[in-house]
Amino acid sequence: MLQLRVQLDPHSGFCFGVVYAIQMAEDLLAERGYLYCLGDIVHNDAEVARLTALGLRVIDHATLATLRDEPVLIRAHGEPPATYRLALENNLTLIDASCPVVLKLQNRIKTSYDKRERLYLYGKRGHAEVLGLLGQTNDEAVVFESLDELLTLDLPDSLTLYSQTTKSTDSFYAIVRELEARGKQVQVNDTICRQVSNRDEELREFAARFAVVVFVSGTKSSNGKVLFEVCRRINPRTHFISAPSELRPEWFGATETVGICGATSTPTWLMEQVRDALELL
């Protein structure tokens, strides 16, 4: 049996936007026994399964179009205007748990669109938040996932740059520097959530303190992918898992220190399960 010294990262776990959405869902489930949710409430299968057991019914946009006279939760990622128009047509009661940071970004990008600015959005194509942002621009903003991709485009001399809230701050400003170095006039809108970006520095410090790091996240989480790479750059012995069952004893020496951390979409209870499983190895 290994004698690991295990510590949880006190800064990991749900961001305030996800906490707000889940608390709202739990309250409504306790009150009425079921609740429709448009898309996964958080990009973590274990947490979605927990809430599904309480009565949460996860639906897609096609199913939403068939509902009438029902309450539907809008998750923290936000939704495009078309969703709100459909709700009015179908007499749906939307319980809007959109993250305030995302709502602010939606308003800003809509203002830029109304001014007819040339809009470029650094984000994951097809991500729920990105789809909501695109909806503010009549799907006219250009989405790109990397600097290399952006530089393949025929860019205007002047452009307005936005970012999905969970992207890397370092990567965003590297894009800004490269565009300016190429003589482009860039109207920069740093719309990255600081609760996410501040975790970059916190995780660098955390990952450096341990022999091994176990990073817990759902595979669908964009934030999880970013923060995992932050840890792995500092500590190459960082392992990505989504459940305690994915732990491997061969990752650890007999008496090593192990740090457990996670994404803004990772529930604390899941990291605690990982800790408990490590202590039994």
HSE value, Cβ hemisphere, 13 Å, CA-based, for 11: 14
Cα–Cα dist 101/174, whole Å? 22
Residues in contact with 55: Cβ distance below 8 Å, sequence separation at least 6, in sequence order: 29, 33, 34, 35
Strand partners, 238: 213
Q: What CA–CA distance (Å, rounded) separates 47 from 191?
A: 27
Q: How far apart, in whole angstroms, are the C-alpha atoms of residue 72 and residue 112?
A: 29
| CA 180 and chain centroid, separation | 28
pLDDT at 197: 79
Confidence of residue 84 (pLDDT cuts 50, 70, 90): very high
* pLDDT class of 141 with cuts at 50, 70, 90: very high
The set of residues, in sequence order, having a beta carbon less than 8 Å from that of 79 and lying 6+ positions away, is: 38, 98, 132, 135
Tokens representing 259? 């740090």
Query: Which of 1, 61, 12 shows the shortest CA–CA distance to 271?
Result: 12
pLDDT score of 195 more than 90: no
pLDDT tier, 226 (very low <50, low <70, confident <90, very high otherwise): confident
Amino acid identity of residue 162, one-letter, is Y
Position 71 confidence tier, pLDDT thresholds 50, 70, 90? very high
Of 268, 212, 277, whose CA–CA distance to 244 is shortest? 277
Q: Which amino acid, 116?
A: R
Q: Identify whether the C-beta of residue 260 lies closer than 8 Å to the C-beta of residue 214.
A: yes
CA geometry: angle at 153 spanning 228 and 138, to 5°? 85
Phi-psi region of 55 (alpha: psi -120 to 50; beta: other; left: phi over 0): left
Residue 196 confidence (pLDDT): 78
Tokens of 7: 């510590």
pTM of the model: 0.88
- pLDDT tens digits along 32-67: 999 999 999 999 999 999 999 999 999 999 999 999
The residue type found at 2 is: L
pLDDT value of position 25: 97
pLDDT tens across 108-122, in order?
Answer: 999 999 999 999 999
Read off the pLDDT band of 220 (50, 70, 90).
confident
Q: In terms of pLDDT, which residue wins out, 15 or 258?
A: 258
Pairing of strands 212-216, 71-74: unpaired
pLDDT single digits (tens) 238-249: 999 999 999 999
Count CB atoms within 10 A of the CB of residue 20. Answer: 16
Radius of gyration from C-alpha coordinates of the chain: 21
Give the whole-angstrom CA distance, residue 238 versus residue 116: 45
Q: Is the pLDDT of residue 200 over 90?
A: no
Active site amino acids: 129
Residue 1: is its pLDDT beyond 90?
Answer: no
pLDDT band at residue 170 using 50, 70 and 90 as cut-offs:
confident
Between the CA of residue 110 and those of 2, 27, 77, 163, what are the distances in Å? 55, 32, 16, 14
